[in-house]
Amino acid sequence: MGTLLFAIADPGRCAELTARLEGDGHDVVVTSDGILPEGVPGRSPVVLIADMAVALGSGFEACRTLRESADVTLLVLAGVGEGEAEELLALSRGADDYIRMPCSPEVLRARIGAALRRAERMGVRPGPVALRFGELTIDTGMRRAVVSGRPLHLTRIEFELLAALAEHHRRVLTRAEILHRVWGTWQGDDHVVEVHLSRLRRKIMAAGGPRIGEAVPGVGYRFGGEAA
């Protein structure tokens, strides 16, 4: 099933949920900072679930460190009274999903299950593709993107978004198509596409690559260039 790492300021807050997840067959580790304890080597998490307080403290940095060696999905749990501003902040910092609280254990289990299914689906492609757009090269088989030979450090969602646009660079993708391809079944606000695309675009341009993700008003997005 894979290891689920909970980074929660108050571990008791998620005791019922973690017990149910363990009953489902998941390997669950709970910390207060998002750092794997030394006594659990080899248990690379596939999903990191952090509340907003921990995420803003050390959670985002912990997830960045984890992503240097493996793909990790980051889910952020909203705090009491947090709204759209906090959601946008979490998504802009690299969260793959933002879950508004209070939320029942059943719904949280479903959201975590959806994240795990996305992770499994992202790891399997019908056939690897290597595409080049100026200084930007994308290898979907190796799940690697580089600009002028230098690798881009992308989150799982960012790479999937880039791959979706690149593989369909000859046509416009609707927002619905992007949501289905990258997020699967998505029940949140569809502005998640713009937030992650903006972050992805900044990373590529900062590395000297082309501007990607051109908006087509009323339709969706196109890659913005032709393959070499």
Q: How far apart are the first and last CA of the chain?
A: 40
Give the mean pLDDT of the chain. 77
Question: What amino acid occupies position 33?
Answer: D
Choice among 27-36, 40-49, 152-161, 177-186 with the minimum mean pLDDT: 40-49
Enter the DSSP assignment of 179.
I
Kindly report, residue by residue over 121-136, the tens digit of the pLDDT: 655 444 456 788 889 9
CA 89 to chain centre: 14
- Which residue reads 């979907």 in tokens? 140
Other beta carbons less than 10 A from residue 2's beta carbon: 14
| Distance between CA atoms of residues 224 and 228, nearest Å | 13
CA distances from 40 to 44, 78, 223 (A): 9, 28, 42
Closest by Cα among 123, 158, 109, 87 to 6: 109
**pLDDT over 50 (residue 41):** no
Kindly report, residue by residue over 195-214, the tens digit of the pLDDT: 889 999 999 999 999 999 98
- Which residue reads 């198509």 in tokens? 177
* Residues 6 or more apart whose Cβ sits within 8 Å of residue 184: 114, 117, 118, 121
**pLDDT over 80 (residue 177):** yes
CA 68 to chain centre: 14
Enter the DSSP assignment of 139.
E
Domains parsed from the chain with CATH numbers? 3-122 (3.40.50.2300), 130-222 (1.10.10.10)
Note the pTM of the prediction, 2 decimals: 0.54
**pLDDT over 60 (residue 87):** yes
Percent share of the chain, pLDDT over 90: 11
| Distance between CA atoms of residues 190 and 183, nearest Å | 10
Enter the DSSP assignment of 14.
G
